Amino acid sequence: MSGYAISSYGNYLNIIALSLFTYEVTRSPIGIGLVMSLRLAAGVCAAPIAGRLAGRLDRRRMMLAADFAQLAAMVVLAVGAAARSVVLLACVVVVLGAGNTTFLVAMRTAVPQLFGQDERVRVTGLLVTVRSLAAVGGFASAGIVIGTGGFEVAFLLNAASFVASAVALVLLGRVIADRGAPGGAAVDAAPGTRIRLLGVVAPAVLAMVVVRGVDALSSSSHNIALPVFAASADPARPATVMALFWSAWALGIVLAHLVLTRWRRIEPGARAFAIGTCVMSVSFALAFVDTTLVLVCASALVAGLAEGFAEITYTARLQAEPDHLRGRLFGLSATAETSGFALGMVASAAALEVAAPAVVVAAFHGLAVAAALAFLVFAVARR
């Protein structure tokens, strides 16, 4: 948990640092969207490969390999930041996109085997919580780190966070070896068997993956629109507005874990996931209606609470599938999420050239609401 928390801190610090650095290099909102889409496209390509590997290889070693690759990329970017090279930036974001996707697929797949099916909701909630607490620290400190040390220091801090994650994984391996546990190693299907999800996994689960992809497409809109909105809300301190927005969102996700931990009657499934997705999308849309900072943060808080609720119930439902299917299923999920987010990045960036942030965010999140409601009707009809 501690290693994941530290690496998450570095990643969230890097979200703001890399966004601002990309804007400085490209000098265009379209440039930000294209570079971020390249990162996500690398994740799309890596997701099915990671899903297959998670069914065959030791998942802890997969996470270690992903950490080392991202560590190398961030060190290279920190050393070459002064050149402001678009080519270097593009190469780095490809490694980050593929590495992050591989790490997440392996980690989510390994949770039930390491901790047991009965503990998957609690552990998934803890992972989401520590990631959110790390987000608060990463977003809150981004302005200070970049302002005092520049982009180079921010990139090196992100690199150091991958070192911490790798050390934690090595220590975890020793603990697992001492107690004789499997260590997150894959449980293969019968030799020579090719796993096909269609016809094996319940249609409702595959439909949840589709909705998650639409949700990712919608979520890209507030990520792209936030810098523009922050500049209009407080032209003198846009970074402060962004930090407060994301900190309130992260706090909401922490609250979601507390609610799910204490109120155990909530079961991971279609209804909880669909309701959480709807509330999240409506809240994100409301956050961009008015520039009053209190209202913006309140809406972001509710959006985070609903997003945490939806993510925990969604992930726990996929983790309930058999081990030999789980890796492929999370690979499919990562493909849907990253491809949806990449497409949304380009589309929302283009939309912001002709429409206000509030209009763009409302339109994109309206798609997520429609998809979630359609899925809820589908799930209830099948039941």
pLDDT score of 196: 58
pLDDT: which is higher, 197 or 20? 20
Please provide the average confidence, as pLDDT, over all residues in the chain. Answer: 83
Q: What is the pLDDT of residues 109-149, one digit of tens each?
A: 888 777 776 777 777 777 877 887 787 788 778 778 888 88
Q: Report which of 349, 366, 93 is spatially closest to residue 228, judged by C-alpha positions.
A: 349
Q: Is the pLDDT of residue 224 over 90?
A: no
Q: Report which of 336, 335, 325, 321 is spatially closest to residue 55, judged by C-alpha positions.
A: 325
Q: Is the pLDDT of residue 360 over 60?
A: yes
Within 8 A by CB and 6+ apart from 153, the residues are 145, 146
Using DSSP, how many helices (H) and how many strands (E) does the chain show?
11, 0
Q: Is the pLDDT of residue 292 over 50?
A: yes
pLDDT score of 144: 84
pLDDT score of 190: 44
Query: b vs e for 335-345, b when ≥16 Cβ sit within 10 Å of the residue's Cβ?
Result: bbbbbbbbbbb
The band of 76, judged by pLDDT with boundaries at 50, 70 and 90, is very high
Give the bridge partners for 270, in sequence order. none
DSSP characters over 201-245:
B-HHHHHHHHHHHHHHHHHHHHHHHHHHHHHHH-TT-HHHHHHHH
The band of 175, judged by pLDDT with boundaries at 50, 70 and 90, is low
Rounded Cα distance, 236 and 240, in Å: 9
Provide the percentage of residues in the chain whose pLDDT is more than 70.
89
pLDDT score of 277: 94
Token pair in block for residue 98: 């593929």
Rounded Cα distance, 247 and 240, in Å: 10
pLDDT: which is higher, 217 or 194? 217
Q: What is the pLDDT of residues 239-287, one digit of tens each?
A: 788 878 888 888 898 888 787 777 655 555 678 889 999 999 999 999 9
Q: Could you give the angle at the alpha carbon of 380 between the alpha carbons of 312 and 200, nearest 5°?
A: 70
